[in-house]
Structure 1
Amino acid sequence: MMHTGDPREAFEAYCTAYGYDVRDWGGYPTLRSIRELRATTVAFQLADQGTIPLHQARYRLACLRGHHGPRPWAWTTIA
Protein backbone atom coordinates (compact mmCIF):
# COMPACT_ATOMS: atom_id res chain seq x y z
CA MET A 1 0.00 0.00 0.00
CA MET A 2 1.51 3.32 -1.09
CA HIS A 3 0.79 6.32 1.10
CA THR A 4 1.42 9.92 0.18
CA GLY A 5 1.19 13.04 2.30
CA ASP A 6 2.07 13.47 5.97
CA PRO A 7 4.81 11.02 7.08
CA ARG A 8 3.20 10.76 10.53
CA GLU A 9 -0.08 9.68 9.00
CA ALA A 10 1.79 7.17 6.85
CA PHE A 11 3.53 5.72 9.92
CA GLU A 12 0.26 5.55 11.84
CA ALA A 13 -1.33 3.71 8.91
CA TYR A 14 1.61 1.30 8.87
CA CYS A 15 1.29 0.64 12.61
CA THR A 16 -2.42 0.02 12.23
CA ALA A 17 -1.84 -2.45 9.40
CA TYR A 18 1.05 -4.12 11.26
CA GLY A 19 -0.90 -4.18 14.50
CA TYR A 20 1.88 -2.77 16.68
CA ASP A 21 3.93 0.41 17.10
CA VAL A 22 7.55 -0.67 17.57
CA ARG A 23 8.25 2.56 19.48
CA ASP A 24 6.22 1.07 22.36
CA TRP A 25 8.73 -1.76 22.76
CA GLY A 26 11.20 -1.32 25.64
CA GLY A 27 14.22 -2.11 23.45
CA TYR A 28 13.34 0.45 20.79
CA PRO A 29 15.48 3.33 22.17
CA THR A 30 18.58 1.13 22.10
CA LEU A 31 17.98 -0.02 18.53
CA ARG A 32 17.21 3.56 17.44
CA SER A 33 20.51 4.75 18.94
CA ILE A 34 22.44 1.96 17.22
CA ARG A 35 20.83 2.85 13.88
CA GLU A 36 21.66 6.55 14.34
CA LEU A 37 25.27 5.73 15.21
CA ARG A 38 25.53 3.50 12.14
CA ALA A 39 24.06 6.22 9.90
CA THR A 40 26.63 8.65 11.30
CA THR A 41 29.58 6.32 10.74
CA VAL A 42 28.43 5.65 7.17
CA ALA A 43 28.36 9.42 6.59
CA PHE A 44 31.96 9.65 7.81
CA GLN A 45 32.97 6.81 5.50
CA LEU A 46 31.62 8.86 2.58
CA ALA A 47 32.80 12.27 3.85
CA ASP A 48 35.73 12.45 1.42
CA GLN A 49 33.35 12.25 -1.55
CA GLY A 50 32.07 15.81 -1.35
CA THR A 51 30.76 18.63 0.75
CA ILE A 52 27.28 17.15 1.32
CA PRO A 53 28.53 13.90 2.91
CA LEU A 54 31.09 15.85 4.96
CA HIS A 55 28.43 18.30 6.17
CA GLN A 56 26.05 15.45 7.02
CA ALA A 57 28.76 13.55 8.89
CA ARG A 58 29.60 16.57 11.03
CA TYR A 59 25.94 17.48 11.53
CA ARG A 60 24.96 13.94 12.54
CA LEU A 61 27.79 13.71 15.03
CA ALA A 62 26.75 17.06 16.52
CA CYS A 63 23.18 15.76 16.81
CA LEU A 64 24.34 12.66 18.63
CA ARG A 65 26.34 14.88 20.98
CA GLY A 66 23.18 16.87 21.79
CA HIS A 67 24.07 20.10 19.95
CA HIS A 68 20.91 20.24 17.81
CA GLY A 69 18.11 19.58 20.28
CA PRO A 70 15.91 16.53 20.55
CA ARG A 71 14.90 14.13 17.80
CA PRO A 72 13.84 14.17 15.06
CA TRP A 73 16.83 15.84 13.47
CA ALA A 74 16.88 17.11 9.89
CA TRP A 75 19.26 14.51 8.46
CA THR A 76 19.24 14.30 4.68
CA THR A 77 20.45 11.65 2.28
CA ILE A 78 24.12 11.56 1.48
CA ALA A 79 24.19 10.13 -2.02
Structure 2
Amino acid sequence: MIEREVEIINETGLHTRPGNQFVKLAKTFPCDIIVRRGETEFSAKSLLKLMKVGVSKGDHITIVCDGEKENEAIDALSNFLANLTE
Protein backbone atom coordinates (compact mmCIF):
# COMPACT_ATOMS: atom_id res chain seq x y z
CA MET A 1 0.00 0.00 0.00
CA ILE A 2 1.28 3.45 -0.90
CA GLU A 3 -0.15 6.92 -0.48
CA ARG A 4 0.59 10.40 -1.72
CA GLU A 5 -0.79 13.83 -0.82
CA VAL A 6 -1.70 16.10 -3.72
CA GLU A 7 -2.89 19.71 -3.75
CA ILE A 8 -5.66 20.55 -6.20
CA ILE A 9 -4.37 23.46 -8.29
CA ASN A 10 -7.08 23.56 -10.95
CA GLU A 11 -9.16 26.76 -10.65
CA THR A 12 -12.46 24.87 -10.72
CA GLY A 13 -11.37 21.84 -8.72
CA LEU A 14 -12.61 18.39 -9.68
CA HIS A 15 -15.96 19.29 -11.18
CA THR A 16 -17.82 16.86 -13.43
CA ARG A 17 -15.62 16.76 -16.55
CA PRO A 18 -12.18 16.43 -14.91
CA GLY A 19 -13.73 14.32 -12.15
CA ASN A 20 -15.01 11.90 -14.77
CA GLN A 21 -11.56 11.78 -16.40
CA PHE A 22 -9.97 11.09 -13.00
CA VAL A 23 -12.43 8.24 -12.31
CA LYS A 24 -11.93 6.74 -15.78
CA LEU A 25 -8.17 6.79 -15.24
CA ALA A 26 -8.54 5.17 -11.81
CA LYS A 27 -10.69 2.40 -13.31
CA THR A 28 -7.87 1.41 -15.67
CA PHE A 29 -5.88 0.04 -12.72
CA PRO A 30 -6.70 -3.26 -10.96
CA CYS A 31 -5.65 -2.05 -7.49
CA ASP A 32 -7.94 -0.54 -4.86
CA ILE A 33 -7.75 3.26 -4.96
CA ILE A 34 -9.08 5.41 -2.13
CA VAL A 35 -9.13 9.20 -1.92
CA ARG A 36 -9.05 10.94 1.46
CA ARG A 37 -10.10 14.52 2.01
CA GLY A 38 -9.97 15.40 5.66
CA GLU A 39 -11.89 12.72 7.54
CA THR A 40 -13.76 11.58 4.42
CA GLU A 41 -12.68 8.54 2.39
CA PHE A 42 -14.17 7.36 -0.88
CA SER A 43 -13.37 5.16 -3.85
CA ALA A 44 -11.53 6.94 -6.66
CA LYS A 45 -13.55 4.75 -9.02
CA SER A 46 -16.89 6.40 -8.11
CA LEU A 47 -17.81 9.68 -9.81
CA LEU A 48 -20.91 10.03 -7.62
CA LYS A 49 -18.86 9.90 -4.42
CA LEU A 50 -16.26 12.28 -5.85
CA MET A 51 -18.96 14.80 -6.77
CA LYS A 52 -20.66 14.41 -3.37
CA VAL A 53 -17.45 15.26 -1.50
CA GLY A 54 -16.70 18.26 -3.72
CA VAL A 55 -12.96 18.65 -4.21
CA SER A 56 -12.03 22.31 -4.77
CA LYS A 57 -8.94 24.35 -5.62
CA GLY A 58 -6.51 24.41 -2.72
CA ASP A 59 -7.82 21.19 -1.18
CA HIS A 60 -5.23 18.63 -0.18
CA ILE A 61 -6.26 15.07 -0.89
CA THR A 62 -4.44 11.82 -0.23
CA ILE A 63 -4.50 9.10 -2.86
CA VAL A 64 -4.07 5.59 -1.43
CA CYS A 65 -3.36 2.67 -3.77
CA ASP A 66 -3.21 -0.95 -2.67
CA GLY A 67 -2.59 -3.94 -4.90
CA GLU A 68 -1.41 -4.80 -8.36
CA LYS A 69 0.11 -1.84 -10.26
CA GLU A 70 -0.24 0.48 -7.24
CA ASN A 71 2.92 2.40 -8.15
CA GLU A 72 1.76 3.03 -11.71
CA ALA A 73 -1.68 4.05 -10.47
CA ILE A 74 -0.48 6.57 -7.91
CA ASP A 75 1.95 8.11 -10.41
CA ALA A 76 -0.70 8.39 -13.14
CA LEU A 77 -3.36 9.88 -10.85
CA SER A 78 -0.93 12.30 -9.20
CA ASN A 79 0.36 13.46 -12.58
CA PHE A 80 -3.19 13.88 -13.86
CA LEU A 81 -4.05 16.19 -10.96
CA ALA A 82 -0.74 18.08 -11.17
CA ASN A 83 -1.30 18.85 -14.85
CA LEU A 84 -5.04 19.56 -14.69
CA THR A 85 -5.68 23.02 -16.09
CA GLU A 86 -9.36 22.83 -17.02
Higher RCO, Cα 8 Å, sep 6+: 2
More strand by share: 2
Larger radius of gyration: 1
Which TM-score band applies after superposition, normalised by the shorter structure? 0.3 to 0.5
More helix by share: 1
Per the normalisation by structure 2, the TM-score is: 0.35
